[in-house]
Amino acid sequence: MGRHLADLTEDECWGRLQSRDLARIAWNTSTGPELLPVNYVTYDGALWMRTTAHSSIAEQTDESQVAIEIDDLDPGTHVGWSVVVHGRATAFYHDEDVPAEVKALRSWAAGVRPLWLQIKADVITGKSLSED
Task: Write the pLDDT tens digit of every residue in 46-102.
Answer: 999 999 888 888 889 888 999 999 999 999 988 999 999 999 999 999 989 999 999
Listed residue (33, 36, 16, 25) closest to 88, CA to CA: 25
Q: Rounded to an integer, what distance in angstroms lies between the CA atom of residue 119 and that of residue 78?
A: 30
100: left (phi over 0), alpha (psi -120 to 50) or beta: alpha
Residue 2 has pLDDT above 80, yes or no: no
The pLDDT assigned to 34 comes to 94
The pLDDT assigned to 36 comes to 93
The pLDDT assigned to 112 comes to 82
Taking residues 5-27, report their average pLDDT: 96
- Predicted confidence (pLDDT) per residue in 109-125, tens digit: 888 888 999 999 999 99
The pLDDT assigned to 43 comes to 96
- Report domain 3-131's class: mainly beta
The pLDDT assigned to 1 comes to 61
Largest CA distance in the chain: 54
Residue type, 82: S
Q: Rounded to an integer, what distance in angstroms lies between the CA atom of residue 14 and that of residue 28?
A: 25
Number of Cβ atoms within 10 Å of the Cβ of 95: 10
The answer to whether residues 123 and 10 touch, using CB atoms and an 8 Å cutoff, is no
Domain boundaries, the chain: 3-131
Give all strands (DSSP E) within 16-114, no chain letters. 22-29, 32-39, 41-43, 46-51, 65-73, 80-92
